[in-house]
Structure 1
Amino acid sequence: MFKEKRNKPKRFDNLFHFKADNDQVAEIRELIKEFHNKIKKEQDAKKSNELIKYIENNDEKLIDEIFQKFNLSTDLFKYIVADTLFSKIVNAENQTIETITELLGSRYTSTNIGEYLYNDKALLKDLETFTE
């Protein structure tokens, strides 16, 4: 039916701007909302997997692009599994590790750190256990 799954936030927001007139409309809206959230989750997970792939390939330029794009976002590490990230970092080239270290340092010296540090905390704690 659909050729491509795409998340169109403006269209989604417009849909929910108006109230549902009856139960059938409300039910359809909920189905659309669930579908929208599923697509968004898949897109976010894909972005997380891209970061892992770029670390594995020692592609510092693309790692930097991901960090710049999501530096102040709570979604940067949302779908990354700590042991996967750790294994990719440990096997990365020294320059790639230095780049990641600098990017993380930059991320956590921001004045808005409270907006995303809480969401990153679990991953960071898990990474810490691998270094002990």
Structure 2
Amino acid sequence: MKQLSDDRSAHQVAGDLDAMRALMHDSFRYVDSSGRQFDKETFLDQFVDPTAIQWIAQDTVTFDETVRGDLAVVQLLLEEKFILGTNAYEGRFWMLHLYVKEDGVWLWQGGQATMINEG
């Protein structure tokens, strides 16, 4: 799972839409730290497409996984830096990612992000 999670991050930061699309389940759902909901295509448009977002860094601080059969739950603490539109963002986010195995292939089913307030 760690390698798959690292690959997901690398594809996202690189803006590789095709690689990310192949990694994501068709019924993908994601809730960002502002509570906005995304399906597969809207996530790709907002958080991967280099015309919308410019990633500076997405670094894994902590990683924990629980795998039960064809379901994996991954908990991450990520440090992220990116430019979205005209605004620059930097922060730590706790992420919960779900992966499902279909036909022997792990796919990113979705997840949820929470901004960590360290003040």
TM-score range, shorter chain: 0.3 to 0.5
More strand by share: 2
TM-score (norm 1): 0.30
